[in-house]
Structure 1
């Protein structure tokens, strides 16, 4: 993996639970790691979902240095959007990591 290709910055977010002043648990996303990354592919496709009609689905494939403990429960923030990690594959014997992710739709 060549460091010159790692020209973008991504943030890995991890869910954590905090206790509100009322004493109830609340789940929040916190920054876990900031990494340099290579964007392999960024694409948008129109997908038909049930009766809701067609929606745009944005997907992202990125490569970065290996990060131990990364799971599908984490998510990626890149270029102002948040993406759910669908797959994280080690490359070059744990020297690098390739992630496939899909954009999270904003709630109206």
Structure 2
């Protein structure tokens, strides 16, 4: 992995549970860490959901190896959040490839 290609900054977030003023549990997201990343691929795919066709923005990041990253985490990049769909280890703990997705309307605006 070439450090010169790691030109973007992402934050990996994990879900935490807090309690609101009424004693009810509330899901919140906390930064697990901030990492340099390479954007490998960006695309938009269309798939069918119950309510009809929906566009999904897919983005693939490469980062140096970090233990504990899974598809229960999410990535914050460029002010938008992406759910991690797949984590692939590169080499022998050299790096990770994170395949992430978000609804295209959330990424590109309502007109997407």
In 2: Cα distance, 1:54 partner to 1:23 partner: 38
Residue by residue over 1:40-81, the C-alpha shift from the partner in whole angstroms, topping out at 9 and shown as x without a partner, is 00111233334x232211101110011111111000111222
CA RMSD in angstroms comes to 1.8
Q: In the alignment, which residue of structure 1 is the partner of 2:29?
A: 29
Q: In the alignment, which residue of structure 2 is the partner of 1:68?
A: 67
Q: In the comparison of the two structures, how many residue pairs are matched? A: 106
TM-score by length of 1: 0.88
**What are the equivalent positions in structure 2 for 1:4-83 lying under 5 Å apart?**
4-50=4-50, 52-83=51-82
SS in 2 for 1:94: coil
Q: Unaligned 5+ residue runs, structure 2?
A: 107-112
In 1: Cα distance, 2:13 partner to 2:43 partner: 22
In 1: Cα distance, 2:52 partner to 2:64 partner: 38
